[in-house]
Amino acid sequence: MRAFKTESKKLLNLMINSIYTNKEIFLRELISNASDAVDKLNFKALTDSSIQINPDDLAVRLSFDKDARTLTISDNGIGMTAEELEQNLGTIAHSGSQEFKQEHAEHQGDDVDIIGQFGVGFYSAFMVASQVRVVSRAFGEDSAHVWESDGLEGYTIEDASRESHGTDVILTIRENEDATDSGLSERFDTYLSEWGLRDLVQRYSNYVRYPIQMMVTKSREKERPADAGDDYQPEYEDYQELETLNSMTPIWKKRSSDVSEEEYNEFYKASFHDWENPARSISFHAEGSLEYDALLYIPAKAPFDLYSRDYQKGLALYSSNVMIMEKCAELLPDYFNFVRGIVDSADVSLNISRETLQHDRQLRAIASRVEKKIASELVSLRDENRELYEQFFENFGRGLKFGIYQSYGAKAADLADLLLFWSAQQEKMITLAEYAAAMPDTQKAIYYAAGDNRERLAKMPVVKGVLARGYDVLLCTADVDEFTFQAMRNYQAHGLPKVYEDAAAAEAARKAQADGAEPELEDRTFELKNVASGDLDLATEDEKKDAEAATKEHENLFAAMKEALAGKVERVSVSARLAEAPACITTEGALSLEMEKVLARGPEADAGELPRSQRVLELNTKHAVFDKLVAAQAAGDAERVQLMAELLYDQALLVEGMLPEDPVAFAQRVCELM
């Protein structure tokens, strides 16, 4: 018995129980080691003409024996001498692959694709095996040697026999363990079954560059006997066949010109378990300080759990074709959480278990590039196939809006032009840029109305008032819309026709264009304004004078109505925005009526008193109802003024899609007035 050349018991215990969080990755590690051994021999043959091997014969072979409880991972690679067994397996954390990789760094990824880095992957075998036996014969050697250990105190190295060069790693798989009070049960039998091994290979090692083969059991119909009668029933028999379990060449490393759209779609459906083709496939290769390949997909429809707390975002992270993480959340921002795909890089610095990365800056660099690429592809989809983009936005637009709100507007510059809203004027979905391009030169803001129903919003008096002045209104029906606009505050439109300060400058520009000059363009910034909040400043000078005069003339009436509404409104005022309706409710401050409704539906509603919007009751002084109010005030009929004030307030609430605070009292007032 030879002792390990380290503090073996402590370090091996660390290898087996602390470094890896998932036992099933042992097969990934051992297959990666086998692939490295095959790669070394292949590289040796490429650089030494005296070595003759058939590259098609290079492979990794899996086999298992249920009765003996052994799993064998074999390769026909370069093999190891007794000294190399001592050095590579007897010295924990010594990586022969890493040394080879450094010596031939200029060929990495070309003639050679070494995976190993730390020299500890082999010891993951002890997570599932009670005994490990390694039989190896070095290329060019006549004799083989066997390394054997139980992973406790030490190991033995003895002479052995093997027909040809290569290595066999033979694991004696542990017995199943029943559940205890301190943990879950362990079903080690999974590693002694065809389906279990096939699943692990396809999940973690599907794209190792050499075939991973295994004898599998298949069924076939027996030949029909010559004397079989009409009542003959077909009989079947099982047989063994050598099958390659992995696909080897990853689709994301092929040139996009060599892959058809159908192939991309089929890979997406098979890999991400979707029945529909993706809306967009994105394949690109990045070079520089970090080199990586990426294949991304934008799904056609949102998964059912996309907006649930249990949904896990992330891209599959591979290193040299070996899967490191099934879902690396750091590669995607939350607002692109719907994107599925793969990133593969040999340059990322993995930790010792190869399950996470050591340097966040590498991950951030890749994530930044991925984010920009996704945004660029969405812009292309928006401009090239508007119908498909609108379908995409219906499924995933809420997340883009939430990205702006969640970042307090910091991501507005990146995401604002991807948003779509319903135009009340054009009666279709438009972008903010399209809204700005269609607005009159005199318009100074982008107007929107927020609610839960597009048809109701279009009929609201405050919306009609803005439309009547020739300005479009965006009808926003998502609960996050107004929060998004509050976070954005304004929108900068690029490349708009220049607005000149005076008629002379405009005329000079017109003449210059008539003589062949290019139209002057400029960037303009527009405030985002809710049509139901604050003063929109749309009134003409004459309308403002009329409102001031009416306010002064009916000052006592407005004071009486405010008192009648008992603190429900901040004030009662003359409206310059109403054309047909007798009254409307607007708000002052950051909290609108729609935001108040959204908060009332949220989980905070049960926690205590919610914030309330600062409401203003605006009256249309040209409406017949206002004349009735003036008459009641002049007659000293305080009760009628109060009745009409409360009724107008409740009616305005109904128009906003909100119930009166006391529906019974509202009904009684209507009957009393009738």
Per-residue model confidence (pLDDT) at position 351: 52
Cβ pair 27, 322 in contact under 8 A: no
pLDDT at residue 17 greater than cutoff 70: no
Q: What average pLDDT score do residues 121-131 get?
A: 88
Q: Summarize pLDDT for 602-620 with one digit per residue, the tens.
A: 666 555 567 788 899 999 9
Which of 314-328, 421-435, 633-647 is predicted most confidently?
421-435
DSSP class of residue 18 equals I
pLDDT at residue 86 greater than cutoff 90: no
Q: Using 50, 70 and 90 to split pLDDT, how confident is the model at 352?
A: very low
pLDDT at residue 539 greater than cutoff 90: no
- The residue with greater pLDDT, 541 or 12, is 541
Q: How far is CA 654 from the centre of its chain?
A: 39
Q: Using 50, 70 and 90 to split pLDDT, how confident is the model at 100?
A: very low
Q: Are strands 340-344 and 292-298 parallel, antiparallel or unpaired?
A: antiparallel
Nearest to 362 by CA among 413, 435, 288: 288
pLDDT at residue 114 greater than cutoff 50: no
Q: Summarize pLDDT for 186-225 with one digit per residue, the tens.
A: 889 999 999 999 999 998 899 888 999 999 999 999 998 8
For the chain, percent of residues with pLDDT exceeding 90: 48
Q: What average pLDDT score do residues 119-124 get?
A: 76
Listed by start position, the domains of the chain span 2-216, 251-384, 408-530, 541-673
Q: What average pLDDT score do residues 434-458 get?
A: 92
pLDDT at residue 474 greater than cutoff 80: yes
Which of 146-150, 290-294, 418-422 is predicted most confidently?
418-422
Q: Using 50, 70 and 90 to split pLDDT, how confident is the model at 183?
A: low
Burial 349-385 (b: 16+ CB within 10 A, else e): ebebbbeebeeeebbebbbebbbebbbebbeebbeee
Place of tokens 């009256």: 619
Place of tokens 């507005």: 412
Q: What average pLDDT score do residues 630-635 get?
A: 91
3-state secondary structure 543-568: HHHHHHHHHHHCHHHHHHHHHHCCCC
Q: Summarize pLDDT for 520-529 with one digit per residue, the tens.
A: 888 999 999 9
Place of tokens 């950051």: 590
SS3 71: strand
Which of 48-57, 183-192, 228-237, 408-417 is predicted most confidently?
408-417
Structure-block tokens of residue 170: 């033979």
Least confident of 51-65, 122-136, 356-370, 435-449: 356-370
pLDDT at residue 134 greater than cutoff 70: yes
Which of 107-116, 203-212, 223-232, 496-505 is predicted most confidently?
203-212
Per-residue model confidence (pLDDT) at position 378: 96
Least confident of 91-100, 433-442, 618-627, 652-661: 91-100
Q: Mean pLDDT score of the chain, rounded to an integer?
A: 86
Q: Summarize pLDDT for 374-384 with one digit per residue, the tens.
A: 999 999 999 99
End-to-end CA distance of the chain: 105
Nearest to 555 by CA among 474, 659, 496, 630: 630
Place of tokens 């994530």: 367
Which of 55-64, 102-111, 325-334, 356-365 is predicted most confidently?
55-64
pLDDT at residue 4 greater than cutoff 70: no
* Nearest-angstrom CA–CA distance, 382 and 564: 52
| Burial group, residue 336, by CB count within 10 angstroms (0-12, 13-18, 19+) | buried
pLDDT at residue 102 greater than cutoff 60: no
Cβ pair 16, 151 in contact under 8 A: yes
SS3 530: strand
Q: Which residues contact 344 (CB under 8 A, 6 or more apart)?
A: 250, 252, 253, 292, 293, 294, 317, 318, 319, 320, 321
The residues that bridge with 183 in the sheet, in sequence order, are 180
Q: Are strands 340-344 and 583-588 parallel, antiparallel or unpaired?
A: unpaired
Work out whether the CA dihedral 266, 267, 272, 277 comes out positive or negative.
negative
Q: Which residues contact 466 (CB under 8 A, 6 or more apart)?
A: 447, 473, 531, 536, 538, 577
Per-residue model confidence (pLDDT) at position 110: 47
The fold of 541-673 is Four Helix Bundle (Hemerythrin (Met), subunit A) (1.20.120)
Per-residue model confidence (pLDDT) at position 5: 53
Q: What average pLDDT score do residues 271-277 get?
A: 89
The CATH number fitting domain 251-384, selected from 3.40.1580.10, 3.30.230.80, 3.30.465.10, 3.10.580.10? 3.30.230.80
3-state secondary structure 399-424: HHHHHHHHCCCCCHHHHHHHCCEEEC
Q: Using 50, 70 and 90 to split pLDDT, how confident is the model at 396?
A: very high
Q: What average pLDDT score do residues 276-294 get?
A: 90
For the chain, percent of residues with pLDDT exceeding 70: 89
Q: What average pLDDT score do residues 509-515 get?
A: 82
pLDDT at residue 120 greater than cutoff 80: no
Burial 199-212 (b: 16+ CB within 10 A, else e): ebbbebbbbbbbbb
* Nearest-angstrom CA–CA distance, 568 and 662: 13
Per-residue model confidence (pLDDT) at position 429: 97
Q: What average pLDDT score do residues 635-647 get?
A: 90
Q: What average pLDDT score do residues 57-70 get?
A: 96
CATH number of 2-216: 3.30.565.10
CA angle (399, 431, 330) in 5-degree steps = 30
* Nearest-angstrom CA–CA distance, 535 and 549: 17
- The residue with greater pLDDT, 172 or 109, is 172
Cβ pair 192, 185 in contact under 8 A: no
The fold of 408-530 is Rossmann fold (3.40.50)
Per-residue model confidence (pLDDT) at position 530: 92
Q: What average pLDDT score do residues 130-157 get?
A: 91
* Nearest-angstrom CA–CA distance, 532 and 593: 8
